[in-house]
Amino acid sequence: MTRLTQLDASLPDRFPDPVHALRDPNGLLAFGGDLSPERLLAAYAQGIFPWFGDGDPLLWWSPDPRCVFDTANVHMARRLKRRLRTSDWTISIDRAFVDVMHACAAPRNDDPGTWITREMIEAYARLHRLGHAHSLEVWNADALVGGIYGVAIGRAFSAESMFSRVTDASKTALIALSRCLRRMGFPLLDAQVSNPHLLRMGATTLPRAEFLQHWRDLTALTGPAEWRLDFTRARELA
């Protein structure tokens, strides 16, 4: 039986090799540690992310295979394209990071629970203030209707969660983020674990070893000098 590694609290950059992650549950690698910026950045640089429920121990994951998007090939359905052509929605970046996290943490019809705990929100808000975590927002006038957030290291971006308060707003956020990332030189968007919705939008899966090789190359690059959008209207995506 494989023994799960407990992280050393005094060594925030030390994680076991993802090759030792469990097959069931897929990708569970270690437990313990903390959510300090140093540990989170070390984890993401190695293709590892935290995922745990309220009251659970802090768990770290590196699933095999890994779900990713080619930022040049996120699929937009014809129906969504028609909608966006006449849409008044606007797009922003890093305007409402904590609000996006709270919206992602809100209960959903098919899942009343959440893994985005208060501890997680506080930890990623710290990363955001340090310039490592980013959000993209979709607005209908002054109302936040959709968004997505994640962590960037070098030219690698790992998306954590997205939300929709109206139909198609999360899809719009994902497409807008992919366009933004592509223009800034990010070829991949890490979606972590696949589901039918992501696969319909063009996501693919990579064996963990292949993903981690790409990831090491991308995280070693210098990141963009600033995060910005070259568009502000959702209709510009259509």
For the chain, what are the domain ranges?
A: 5-63, 67-237
- What pLDDT, on the 0 to 100 scale, is given for residue 3? 78
Q: Are both 5-63 and 67-237 of the same fold?
A: no
| CA–CA gap between residue 14 and residue 17 (Å, rounded) | 9
- What pLDDT, on the 0 to 100 scale, is given for residue 53? 82
| pLDDT averaged over 10-residue windows placed end to end, the chain, 238 residues | 84 95 96 96 98 89 98 96 97 98 84 77 98 98 98 98 97 98 97 95 98 98 94 95
Tokens of 34: 């903390």
Q: Helices marked H in 14-77 — which ranges?
A: 37-45
- What pLDDT, on the 0 to 100 scale, is given for residue 111? 56
Chosen CATH of 67-237 out of 3.40.50.800, 3.40.630.70, 3.90.550.10, 3.40.220.10: 3.40.630.70
Q: Are 185 and 123 in contact (CB under 8 A)?
A: no
Q: Are 60 and 15 in contact (CB under 8 A)?
A: yes
Stretch (H or E) spanning 218: helix 208-219
| CA–CA gap between residue 115 and residue 108 (Å, rounded) | 12
The backbone region for 79, taken as left when phi is positive above 0, alpha when psi lies in -120 to 50, beta otherwise, is alpha
CATH topology of domain 5-63: Alpha-Beta Plaits (3.30.70)
